[in-house]
Amino acid sequence: MSKTLIRALPLIGLLIAGSAQAFVIDGNLSDWGIKRTGNASDWIPNSSVFKYTIEDQHDSKLDPGYGGQAYDAEAIYMSWDTSNLYIAIATGHNPLTLDRPLSNSYGPGDIAIDFGNNGVYEYGVELLGGATTTKGHVYSNVNWALGIWKSNGSWTGYYDPAAAGNRLLADPAHPTSILSGTQVGIGSVAFTTVGQNGYGAWPNDLHYFYEVSVPLSSFGSNWANGNVFTVHWTQNCANDSIWVDPPISGAVPEPGTLALLPIGMMGLLALRRKKATA
């Protein structure tokens, strides 16, 4: 074996590892590069994260609603490898918050995914589990509950997001919880229930974290064809929504592209060796 190829093997190993992100689904986002130093840069992830949105706020008025830190959607991150889509969320909303709309208390919603970016969230990932859904399961043809806010940001007049009148008025751009759907995959979900401070520009604020792994096979041809997509999350009231847009404008790299990268590198090294011995 040539010395050139021997020296290249560690690089090829890194490329292979880089195509399979090692995210441990445990609710700890340190492997995403999230830090705890009390600075705004804490939310900036490492290079293994393909796309992210950060909007940590410190105000009673959120977007579109209110609720302050207790309903703040702070950051969302996305990455993938050849087998799974990975999603992480940072929020000021405790996953154990009771869902009692008439008492002005709203539980967490589920992850919504829109392939084709046509405003139809075809897929949902159940975060906690419900009467007809299971934690970590992926559903298609989802019937979504909506929040309590209209598209112009005004209140619908209903406290209950499940009320029929509310669903007629609420903004469909911010789906909340999965009401029903067809199960198409089983993923993994972990979340924290004890607030942690020391993150971001307001270190006294408490934060909670979700971490999710979803098999790419759940999305069928939508993933295989490289369709653009958006990943969205909010609470059942939709006081503050956050989403991450398509990772690359116009196309999503197919998982096989990442897997072929090391092979291409080996081919280039072989060509270099041939030239050197000519």
Beta strands in the chain (DSSP E): 51-54, 73-80, 84-91, 111-115, 123-125, 137-146, 175-186, 188-191, 208-215, 229-233, 242-244
pLDDT above 80 for 97: yes
Average pLDDT over residues 89-105: 97
What's the rounded Cα separation, in Å, for the pair 29 and 152? 34
CA angle 64–181–179, rounded 5-degree value:
45
Q: Per-domain residue ranges for the chain?
A: 23-254
pLDDT digits (tens, 9 = 90+) for 140-152: 999 999 999 999 9
| Residue 160 bridge partners (DSSP) | none
Largest CA distance in the chain: 80
pLDDT digits (tens, 9 = 90+) for 127-177: 999 888 999 999 999 999 999 999 999 999 999 998 999 999 999 999 999
What are the residues whose beta carbons fall under 8 Å from the beta carbon of 73, sequence distance 6 or more? 55, 62, 89, 91, 93, 233, 234, 235, 240, 241, 242
What's the rounded Cα separation, in Å, for the pair 33 and 48? 9
pLDDT at site 37:
96
How far, in whole angstroms, is CA 137 from its chain's centroid? 15
What are the residues whose beta carbons fall under 8 Å from the beta carbon of 184, sequence distance 6 or more? 123, 138, 139, 140, 218, 219, 220
H/E element, 165: helix 164-169
Kind of pairing, strands 111-115 and 229-233? antiparallel
What's the rounded Cα separation, in Å, for the pair 115 and 208? 27
Structure letter (DSSP) for residue 107: -
pLDDT digits (tens, 9 = 90+) for 177-191: 999 999 999 999 999
pLDDT digits (tens, 9 = 90+) for 199-240: 999 999 999 999 999 999 999 999 988 889 999 999 999 999
Burial of 263 (0-12, 13-18, 19+ CB in 10 A): exposed
The percentage of the chain sitting over the pLDDT mark of 90, rounded to a whole number, equals 73
Q: What is the pTM of this model?
A: 0.83
For residue 22, name the pLDDT band (cuts at 50, 70, 90): confident
pLDDT at site 214:
97
For residue 246, name the pLDDT band (cuts at 50, 70, 90): low
